[in-house]
Amino acid sequence: MIPFNKPLVIGKELGYIKDAMKKQKLCGDGYYTHRCCVMIEEKMNCQKTLLTTSCTHSLEMCALLIDIMPGDEVIMPSFTFVSTANAFVLRGAKIIFVDIRPDTMNIDEKLIEAAITKKTKAIVVVHYAGVACEMDDIMKISKKYNLPVIEDAAQGFGSKYNGSFLGTIGVLGNFSFHETKNITCGEGGALLINNGIFNEYAEIIREKGTNRSKFWRGEVDKYTWVEAGSSYLPSELNAAFLTAQLEKMETINNNRLMSWKRYYDRLITLRDKGYLDLPVIPENCIQNGHMFYIKCRDEEMRDVLINFLKTHGINSVFHYIPLHSSPAGMKYGEFRGEDRWTTKESSRLIRLPMWYGLKKKDIDYIAGVISKFFEGHDKTND
C-alpha cells in the first residue's frame, strides 16, 4: 500500500533531542525554542514568532489577542478544518461563512465585503493547499473597514504571495507543524505577530496568563498572574525536532514541488480530455508542494475512484466536509450569500499521496492507475 503520508525525519532530529536533554531544560522557551523562532523570523522577515503546541492553539491565541467577545462575527470560508472556526467559537463569536473560489478552493475575496456588518470583528483567510488567497484585495477590505486579517497558513509554510511569505501579510499568521505538514515536529504550531502591539500580550497568553517571559529575560524580579491565558508553550524536545526540519526547509519544499510537478505532468492529458480538474496556481503565488489533489466530475465518481485506487494499493483521501453543513456549523455559524461552489467543489476533491521522498515510480504508478480508471469508465459508458 502506498500511504497517503509519511512523517518526515530529515536526519539531525535525534541528535538535537539528545542535546536538549543534556541542557536539562525540557519545558520550553529554552535554547531550541528560541532558535526555532529566530530561524522563522529570519527566513520570513517577520516581526515576532512564538512557537505553540499546535496551529489550533495558535488560532485560539489570535481570538484572545483581538479580544473576541460573545456576539462578535468572524468571516471565514466554510471549506476549512474545524480549528479555524473553533478558536473563535470558544470565545463566543458567530462564524460567518462565505463561498470559495472554484479555482484555488480559497475564500472568494469578492464576497467578503457583502458579509460585513457592524458586528464583524475579523476576517480569517485560509490558504488552502499552501496556495495564497488574493491578499491584496483582502487587505484593502481590511483597511477600509478597520478589520484585522488573520491568516490560517497551516498548510502554507514557505509559500509566498507577491513575494511575501504567507503568515506575514495579515496582522497575525498561523502555521501547523503536525506530522502531515511539510515541516513537522509531530504536533506543533507557530504564531507570527506582524504588529508589535500584540507582542507582550501574546507572551502573557502563551505563558498561562503570567509575565514569566519577562522574568526569564530579567525584566522583572518575579512573575505573577496578570491576564487570562493558557498553556500554549511546546516542550524543548518538540522544538529540537523542529529545528532539524527548519534547517532543511528549502530542501523539503523543493522535493515536494518536484513530486507535485510530476503528478501534474502525468495527469494533464486527463485534464485536457475533460476527465478531471487539476490544481490552479495563480501567477502571483509560489506554493510549497504541500498537497496534490484532483477533482472528479462529482461526489459519486470521487468515491468510486477512491475505492479503485485502494484496490490497487493506493491510499487517497478526500478532505473537509464544509463546516456550514455540520451540526456545529449550523449551531455556531451562518452561511452568508449563495453556496455556489463550497459544497460542490469539496465533494469532488481527492488528495493523492504526497510526502518528502515520494518515489517517481510511485507517482507514475498512481497516475497510471488513475488513467486506467477513466479509460475503463469510458468503455463502461460506451
The position carrying cell 522577515 is: 45
pTM: 0.95
Task: Give pLDDT tens digits for 1-36.
Answer: 999 999 999 999 999 999 999 998 898 899 999 999
Confidence (pLDDT) at 382: 47
Q: Centre a 10 Å sphere on the Cβ of residue 114 and count the other Cβ atoms it contains.
A: 10
Q: Vertex 140, ends 134 and 146: CA angle to 5°? A: 125
To the nearest whole percent, how much of the chain has pLDDT over 70? 98
Confidence (pLDDT) at 219: 82
φ/ψ of 188, rounded to 5, equals: 175, 170
Determine the Cα–Cα distance for residues 163 and 59; give it in Å rounded to an integer: 24
Task: Give pLDDT tens digits for 132-190.
Answer: 999 999 999 999 999 999 999 999 999 999 999 999 999 999 999 999 999 999 999 99
Task: Give pLDDT tens digits for 111-131.
Answer: 999 999 999 999 999 999 999
Confidence (pLDDT) at 199: 94
Based on the number of CB atoms within 10 Å of its own CB, is 337 exposed (0-12), middle (13-18) or buried (19 or more)?
middle
- Cβ atoms of 90 and 69 closer than 8 Å: no
In Å, the largest CA–CA distance within the chain is: 81
What does the mean pLDDT of the chain come to? 96
* Close Cβ partners of 95 (under 8 Å, ≥ 6 residues apart): 73, 74, 76, 85, 88, 89, 323, 329, 332, 333, 334
DSSP class of 4:
S
List the grid coordinates of 261: 510537478
CATH class of segment(s) 13-248: alpha beta
Task: Give pLDDT tens digits for 34-69.
Answer: 999 999 999 999 999 999 999 999 999 999 999 999
Question: Domain ranges in the chain?
Answer: 13-248, 250-381
Q: Indicate the pLDDT class of residue 220, thresholds 50, 70 and 90.
A: confident
Confidence (pLDDT) at 249: 97
Confidence (pLDDT) at 381: 59
The position carrying cell 475503463 is: 376
DSSP class of 314:
B
Q: Are strands 48-52 and 189-193 parallel, antiparallel or unpaired?
A: antiparallel
CATH number for region 250-381: 3.90.1150.10
